[in-house]
Amino acid sequence: MKKKLLLITMILAGIMVHAQPFKWAKQFSSTSLNYGITMAKYPSGEMIVSGGFEGTVDFDPGEDTHFLTSFGAKDVYVAKIDVEGNLLWVKQIGGTGDDFPRNVSCDASGNIYITGVFEGTADMDPGEATVNFTSIGGKDVFIAELNGNGDYIWAGQLGGVNDGTGTRVMVAPSGNIYISGYYIGTFDFDPGPAEFYMSTNGQSIFVEKLNSNHEFVWAKTMGSTLFDYCQSMCLDEEENVYTIGSFKGEGDFDPGDGTVLFTVFGGNDIFVSKLNSNGNYVWAKHMGGTSDEFGQSIVYDYEGHLYITGNFMGAVDFAPDDGGMILTSFGGRDEFTGKMDTEGNLLWVNQIGGEGDQSSYAMALDNNNNVYVTGYFTETADFDPGEGTYWMTSAGDLDAFVSKLSSNGTFIWAAGMGGPLYDRGMSVISDQGNVYTVGYFGGTADFDPGIENYLLTALGERATFISKLGAELVGVAEDMVYDGITVYPNPMNEDFHIDFNDLHQHIVVNIYNMQGQVVLHQEYLNTNRITVSLKDAPGLYFVQVATDADQTEWIKII
């Protein structure tokens, strides 16, 4: 229904009816559980996808099969997929406990890096050899490096008696490796034989640097004595390190001898931080309101700009140090996207909002610095952050979305994907005019954001999806010429007629009301004239007429 309502709303608004060309959607199948979390672009054009799974999963989305079975509770999978969605290989990391990835990235040589969390004993070598790590206490951070064939190169462990999570790993052109995340208590951040301990009284943020030989260089900690999360990180040309996340209470964001204190305005507030390549403080920014706000992703465009995204509730000041820039959520939780310069100045920020909740998890840029964001939304939401409107309605509890903005924050398009259960977009990349999204879904979900359907069904609780859309718009104008079709009378009384110049063996007519609901569906055989009746139903309707000649027209009827 979301797609029909979107199309109808746009016709009524008198603008172009736009859709993203649907290319394909794939899934990993199991009767248990698997979920896509993160995706990276491989240097030669393929995709690296990583997520978690339990039980036995078929990781070949085509006609063949490639089964993996988890060793214990949940394991990590890493898969290489070509641009047509074909599986090239899939590997497994894990052990007896819960192990899952948070981020995957690639260096220029085609080596693959994964970070996340593991507990108990886990084998980090996906091949025949064994490289076992055992967590020191609860859940420890892992970093693993594989080559382009998925073979083991190296792995490291960061751990302590409490829990930690690696959320982002990036490799600079120099070969230096940067890791971000959060931890509780005392942790050893040297993955080698030496030790480097940092401690916190609550849950705090960490950022770490290794050299190209995987040797420890430095680690820094920031945050409060409560609960802080570093969700994303990016690097610029000089290997300055930018992070985004959330914090509670009063947090110190200078990891050195100085003090830069921020106090939350309400529950959870957003931070954005910059450290130099030596881990020294450069600046930090605080964004917040009286409710909860979460920063989820940050990317750099290599032209001196940062892009950020996350979610918020209530009234939030995104630039309290620079004169203020306040957004207020429309209903529940709203999504935000913003642009900053590398000095921390906010250039613009906008939002996606509606009756329910909207939240982003990841973002990406294309070669023109257009911004792609993915996440989820509920109920009905306006995805145009400008003066226009672009409404989409979820098919169930949560639907996945992908949206595209220009580098100035201007709306270009949005697409929804989902069904009656919980569907989330978790990671997005753009490459050569296409947009790839990975996430997970439950039940049966539609992944074609156009007027057609492309259904996938999760056999278990949830399944990984991978989607490919064209990044550019296709469309038809509202003042459509009905080629070979005549409609009369309009306005109508109770009946109207559709005449065709040619005889058609098969005609399908769908009529939608203003809420995007189908009020009439009829099929006709071997005719060139049909009569449609809408008795005792005054109002504005939209009629979709499709013929066996591959012609589809939209007609507005009063």
State the pLDDT at residue 558.
Answer: 65
State the pLDDT at residue 14.
Answer: 38
Question: How far is CA 450 from each of CA 215, 275, 473, 523, 553, rounded to the nearest angstrom?
Answer: 50, 43, 11, 21, 14
Structure tokens at 71: 């060793």
Positive or negative torsion for Cα 213, 216, 217, 218: positive
Most confident of 350-354, 500-504, 511-515: 350-354
Choice among 92-106, 146-160, 309-323, 472-486 with the minimum mean pLDDT: 472-486
CA 414 to CA 83: how far, in whole Å?
A: 22
Residue 451, in any domain of the structure: yes
Whether pLDDT at 7 is above 60: no
pLDDT tier at 551, thresholds 50, 70, 90: confident
Tell which of 476, 504, 524 closes a domain.
Answer: 476
The CATH number of the domain holding residue 18 is 2.120.10.30
Tell which of 476, 498, 513 closes a domain.
Answer: 476
Mean pLDDT of the chain: 90
CA 8-13-18 angle, to 5 degrees, is 60
Tell which of 450, 476, 502 closes a domain.
Answer: 476
Structure tokens at 416: 């929804």
Question: What's the average model confidence in pLDDT over 46-65?
Answer: 97
Do residues 459 and 501 share a domain?
no
Do residues 454 and 498 share a domain?
no
Tens digit of each residue's pLDDT (9 = 90 or more) over 140-154: 999 999 999 999 999
Do residues 513 and 447 share a domain?
no
Choice among 376-380, 391-395, 462-466 with the minimum mean pLDDT: 391-395
Do residues 491 and 466 share a domain?
no
Choice among 65-69, 129-133, 333-337, 386-390 with the minimum mean pLDDT: 386-390
The position carrying tokens 């409710």 is: 291
pLDDT tier at 35, thresholds 50, 70, 90: very high
Do residues 347 and 283 share a domain?
yes
When divided into structural domains, the chain yields a total of 2
State the pLDDT at residue 477.
Answer: 32
Do residues 210 and 134 share a domain?
yes
Residue 90, in any domain of the structure: no
The helix/strand/coil state of 171 is: strand
Choice among 54-63, 375-384, 477-486 with the minimum mean pLDDT: 477-486
Whether pLDDT at 217 is above 80: yes
Which one is predicted more confidently, 322 or 6?
A: 322
CA 264 to CA 351: how far, in whole Å?
A: 21
Do 245 and 211 contact (CB within 8 A), yes or no? Answer: no
Rounded to 5 degrees, what are φ and ψ at 79? Answer: -130, 145
Which one is predicted more confidently, 539 or 265?
A: 265
Most confident of 86-90, 458-462, 547-551: 86-90
Strand 241-247 vs strand 229-235: parallel, antiparallel, or unpaired?
antiparallel
CA 404 to CA 19: how far, in whole Å?
A: 12
The helix/strand/coil state of 131 is: coil
Question: What's the average model confidence in pLDDT over 20-29?
Answer: 92
Whether pLDDT at 288 is above 50: yes
State the pLDDT at residue 478.
Answer: 34
Range of the domain at 213: 2-84+99-476
Whether pLDDT at 390 is above 90: no
State the pLDDT at residue 492.
Answer: 65
Whether pLDDT at 266 is above 80: yes
Which one is predicted more confidently, 186 or 396?
A: 186
Do residues 15 and 138 share a domain?
yes
Question: What's the average model confidence in pLDDT over 411-425?
Answer: 93
Structure tokens at 247: 């914090």
Whether pLDDT at 528 is above 50: yes
Do 216 and 265 contact (CB within 8 A), yes or no? Answer: no
Query: For the chain, what percent of residues have pLDDT higher than 90?
Result: 73
Do 270 and 286 contact (CB within 8 A), yes or no? Answer: yes
Do residues 461 and 515 share a domain?
no
Which one is predicted more confidently, 217 or 478?
A: 217
CA 1 to CA 211: how far, in whole Å?
A: 51
